[in-house]
Structures are given as C-alpha cells and as structure tokens.
Amino acid sequence: MELNELAAQVAAGDRRALARAITLVESRREDHRADAAALLDALGSERQALRIGLSGTPGVGKSSFIEAFGTMLTGQGKKVAVLAVDPSSARSGGSILGDKTRMERLSRDPNAFIRPSPSQTHLGGVARRTREAVALCEAAGFDVVIVETVGVGQSETVVAEMADLFVLLLAPAGGDELQGVKRGIMEMADLILVNKADGALKDTATRTCADYAGALRLLRRRPQDPEGFPKAMCVSAAEGTGLETAWAEMQSLMVWRRENGHFDGRRAEQARHWFEEEVRQGLLARLTSEPQMKARMDELGRSVAAGQAAPVAAAAAMLNDLRGQRD
C-alpha cells in the first residue's frame, strides 16, 4: 500500500489502516523508519486528543480501570484509543501482549481501539515508538488516547513526556508502597487514583487516599497546577464508582492548563525532548550499525573486560573516535 493511501485511510479513521501504520512505526528496519517518518509528516499534527498516561504497580487493576473508564467515555460518544505496553523478556525478547484479552468488553466497542505493544526492553515503562503511535491515534480522530505502562515501579516517568495528564493508579493498604513511589513517579503524577475502593476494602481505600493526599501536600508546588492539584481520589473499576468524578477533574485540569498557556507549552517541551532523544538513539545506533564503529567498540570492550583499560578511559577513547569521524 502506498503511503498516501495509508495516510488517507488513517485520517478517515480506518482501524485496520491504523493498526498497519502502528506496525510500520514500530519496525526497526531502516526503510520502514523512512516510510514511518514520511507517513507522520503526511498526517500532520492538526488533530489533538487528550493524552492520558496511566501507571501503577502490578496487580493494581490498570486493565480493569481502563476498561471501565474507557467504556464510560465511549458511552459519552467519545472515541478512545488504548496503547498498552507489555514488558518484554530481557532473555528472549518475547512479550505476552495479553492486555487486549483483559479488556474484553472495551475491545468489542466500535468507538475503542486497543493496541498492545512490546516494550522491547526499552526503559521507562513505554515502548520506544509509543509517542509516534499516539500521534497516529490522534490523526485517526480519537478523542482520548490512554497509554498504559508496563507497571514496573517508580522509574516509569517517561510516559509523562508524551502525555498531557499523568495518572497514577494505586491500591489500598499498600503498606510501604507510598514510601516506594513518593519520589520520581509520584512527583510526576497529576492525579492519584486509589482503585478497588469497594466492598471490604472501601474504608481502607479511603484511609489510603487520605495518606496520599497528605503526602501530595508535602511536594513542591508545580507551576502547571491550579489550586488543589495534584490530588488523590478513590475509584472502583469493579463498581464503576468515582470514574465520572475523576473524568470531571481531568477535564477541569486540562481547561485550566489551556487557558493559562501550560498545555501548548508542555507539548512544545515534549516535542523538543523527543527530538533530542531521537538524536541520542541515532548516535547509539551508529555504534552497532557501522562496521568500523562496531569493531572499535568490541576492541575497547575486550580491553575493559581484560582489565587493560578502565571503563571511563575506554568510553573517552570511543567518544574521541566519534568526534574524529565527525571532523
């Protein structure tokens, strides 16, 4: 299929074309990378969706929350795309990609699109090309794009660099969970939702929410936040309670940020971040793709392994070689 035809189908909201486009941008082949760049350029960035990054510890119920929350949004006539990032094995490189099966009801919704993607050992809880997949979903006309991270803990802050709103989902009675996430990921959160606030855990969830709310008040105020944000709330994916209130808070925050210039400013900062990240990744790729550079890396690596050179000195020699090639 020609790129112009694929771009036209994606812009028309064709779900199969969108799936093919995401496969294209996720490909590591050099010719596919060129086609992906051309496709994204052809689609442009005129359409904008609300980008929601969702993170949380394993077992907190991220998939259950997304299904309940996404179904509520589609019930309001909104189109929802879910990009679920699944952890890849560091040994085999494989991923289960089972998120779609856990969202059975939402996956059948004609106004929803769910795409699992492997992290491919990329750090930060997201896949390397997730941001480009988000752009494709926006071009396809989706109103809300939810990025579900792999759920590995407090290092999942990369998703905040591609989302307008960062939601941290936590469980009641998490023990020392607050201590574990209060730095890094918690400082990035715009909204903390304590899930499973139902049944026997309802009172516990209320107390846990109060603990998180108290912890948030100790954090330094961010310029992109109105009074009262970030805040903690209780929700129940099983019963569907608290979801509409959480959505209202998200909308309120986005309206305030748009009116005060933080929305466009943040997106501009994110675009620059990903430009710099692409340059860094391109430079690293040169070390393994160019035979001369790869041979030099192997030579220096053997010297370090044999104790003949310190890692810092070997790295400095490699960088000097790169500068010499550039000059």
Per-residue pLDDT at 94: 41
In the predicted model, is pLDDT for residue 89 greater than 50? no
Are residues 6 and 21 in contact, defined by beta-carbon separation less than 8 angstroms? Answer: yes
Report pLDDT for 245: 97
pLDDT digits 0-9 by tens, 125-144: 455 688 899 999 999 999 99
18-27, 54-63, 93-102: least confidently modelled range: 93-102
Report the Cα 124 to chain-centroid distance in Å.
8
Average pLDDT, the chain: 85
Give the N- to C-terminal CA distance of the chain in Å, as an integer. 41
pLDDT recorded at residue 87: 55
Per-residue pLDDT for 186 more than 90? no
Predicted pLDDT at 151: 62
User: Would you state the structure tokens that stand for residue 152, as one six-digit string?
Assistant: 């590995």
List, for residues 280-302, the tens digit of each pLDDT value. 888 887 787 888 888 999 999 99
Alpha helices in 173-201 (DSSP H): 177-181, 185-188
| pLDDT score recorded for residue 119 | 62
* Tokens of residue 243, six digits: 């979801």
Residues 6+ apart with CB under 8 A from 172: 194, 195, 196, 197, 201, 204, 205, 207, 208, 209
What phi and psi values does residue 286 have, to the nearest 5 degrees?
Answer: -60, -30
Q: Which two tokens stand for residue 121?
A: 């050992």
Average the pLDDT over 150-155 and give the result.
Answer: 55
* pLDDT at position 91: 43
pLDDT at 142: 96
Beta bridge partners of 249: none
Beta-bridge partner residues of 194: 170, 234
Residue 302 to residue 298: CA distance in whole angstroms: 6
Tokens 């560091």 correspond to 90
DSSP-derived 3-state class of residue 74: helix
Q: What average pLDDT does the segment 236-245 reach?
A: 95
Q: What is residue 197's predicted lDDT score, i.e. its pLDDT?
A: 94
Pairing of strands 112-118, 80-86: parallel
Q: Residue 262 pLDDT > 60, yes or no?
A: yes
pLDDT digits (tens, 9 = 90+) for 30-61: 888 899 999 999 998 888 999 999 988 778 88
> Which two tokens mark 36?
């992906």
Provide CB contacts within 8 A for 303, sequence distance 6+.
309, 314
Structure tokens given for 217: 């008040």
Share of the chain above pLDDT 70, in %: 85
Residue 101 has what pLDDT?
Answer: 66
Average pLDDT over residues 3-27: 93
Which residue is associated with the tokens 């005060």?
Answer: 260
Per-residue pLDDT at 166 exceeds 60? yes
Q: Which of 136, 26, 159, 149 is nearest to 86 (CA)?
A: 149
- Integer Cα distance of 44 and 8 in angstroms: 12
Query: In which band, very low, low, confident or very high, does the pLDDT at 183 lie, cut at 50, 70 and 90?
Result: low
Q: What is the pTM of this model?
A: 0.84
For 303-327, the pLDDT digits (tens) are 999 999 999 999 999 988 887 765 5
- Beta-carbon neighbour count of residue 64 at 10 Å? 17
Q: If pLDDT is split at 50, 70 and 90, which confidence band does 230 have? A: very high
Distance (Å, whole) CA 171 – CA 190: 17
